[in-house]
């Protein structure tokens, strides 16, 4: 049986993108144009969306607390303990590998209100 879609709907199956958390704490799926000159952000309303992590620059860390069983961050081979994650990545002279500044993330607080979802292409 052939699937039918609404005029503003298309299948997301097989699409590659990035999970991003905006400043308001909302989770989105970002899809870049093939030349990466633009992107679209899709607010995630799906309650159990299956994902596969293909990024070589991510690791699971076991750290059970009341909110989660652990967290995902940059791998320790790229981290300098206790630094800000958003700092510039610098090359490691000895290994030739880039060093990311990483730290355990702070708990995300729930925020009231709604996020403005993107409907158009951003540049």
Domains of the chain, residue spans: 17-45, 54-106
- CA–CA dist 112, 123 (Å, integer): 28
The H or E element containing residue 85 is none
Structural contact between residues 3 and 9, judged by C-beta atoms closer than 8 angstroms: no
**For the segment 57-106, what is each residue's pLDDT rounded down to a tens digit?**
899 999 888 889 999 988 888 876 555 444 444 444 444 444 455 555 44
pTM of the model: 0.58
Considering only 36-40, 45-49, 78-82, which range has the smallest mean pLDDT?
Answer: 78-82
- CA–CA dist 105, 41 (Å, integer): 23
Structural contact between residues 97 and 78, judged by C-beta atoms closer than 8 angstroms: yes
Q: At 77, give phi and psi (nearest 5°).
A: -65, -15
* Share of residues in the chain with pLDDT > 70 (%): 63
Please give the C-alpha separations between residue 63 and each of 27, 73, 77, in angstroms, as whole numbers: 22, 12, 18
> Where are any strands of DSSP class E within 5-58?
18-21, 27-32, 39-43
- CA–CA dist 37, 50 (Å, integer): 27
């Amino acid at each position: 049986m052939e699937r039918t879609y609404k005029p503003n709907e298309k299948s997301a199956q097989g699409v590659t993108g990035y999970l991003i958390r905006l400043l308001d704490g909302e989770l989105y799926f970002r899809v870049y144009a093939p030349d990466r000159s633009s992107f679209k952000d899709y607010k995630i309303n799906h309650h159990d969306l299956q994902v596969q992590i293909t990024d070589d620059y991510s690791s699971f860390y076991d750290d059970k607390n009341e909110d989660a069983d652990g967290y995902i961050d940059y791998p320790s081979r790229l981290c300098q303990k206790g630094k800000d994650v958003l700092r510039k990545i610098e090359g490691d002279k000895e290994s030739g590998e880039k060093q990311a500044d990483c730290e355990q993330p702070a708990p995300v607080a729930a925020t009231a209100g709604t996020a403005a979802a993107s409907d158009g292409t951003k540049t």
